[in-house]
Amino acid sequence: MTIVKKSILLILLIIILDQALKIWVKTHMALSQEHPILGNWFIIHFIENNGMAFGMEIAGKFGKIILSLFRIAAVIGIGWYLLHLIKHKASTGFIFTISIILAGALGNIIDSAFYGMIFSESNDYPPVIADMFPVEGGYSSFLHGQVVDMFYFPVLKGTFPDWIPFRGGDDFIFFRPVFNIADSSITVGVTLILIFQKRFFKK
């Protein structure tokens, strides 16, 4: 199998896993509903956001459009760079790493671009589970969909000591952000580049 086919297969595998889990969560869970997997350390916790990684947001419809257009531009740039690497016979590890990042970026773009049109709205109170392809139409328009997140790892909970400025006495949770497979793919890809940069960038 050629490196091109392997790269495409890797991208498709990540996107399929990402979308399959998101669709299951969206059609089986109400917003903010939880399913503990490993006690209180690993929880499937359904949230939606306008969509940077790990639940961060840019407020408003204008911010949403800007973010969606930025994502599309980033995917085009990453895709071009991946083709450049393949053409110039870069290391297999680096090609796969960029493929992982591209797959993650594509996974979240699918949510932003299409979920508003193909799903009804989810709600937490009263609990409402979304329908896929509802007769009355989706909850939003093209590029205004919400990104589905579900992985929550509140591994460590506690209270900041009183002597810490500004935060003393406040409760904390580590790790607080909720994320998805696409976010994880981007994070893993960037981490691999940092770890193996000397191998990837020999020139």
Supply the residues annotated as catalytic. 149, 183
Helix axes 3-28, 181-195, angle to 10 degrees: 140
> What is the 3 state secondary structure string of the chain?
CCHHHHHHHHHHHHHHHHHHHHHHHHHHCCCCCEEEEECCCEEEEEEEECCCHHHCCCCHHHHHHHHHHHHHHHHHHHHHHHHHHHHCCCCHHHHHHHHHHHHHHHHHHHHHHHHHHHECCCECCCCECCCECCCCCCCCCCCCCCEEEEEECCCEEEECCCCCCCCCCCEEEECCCEECHHHHHHHHHHHHHHHCHHHHCCC
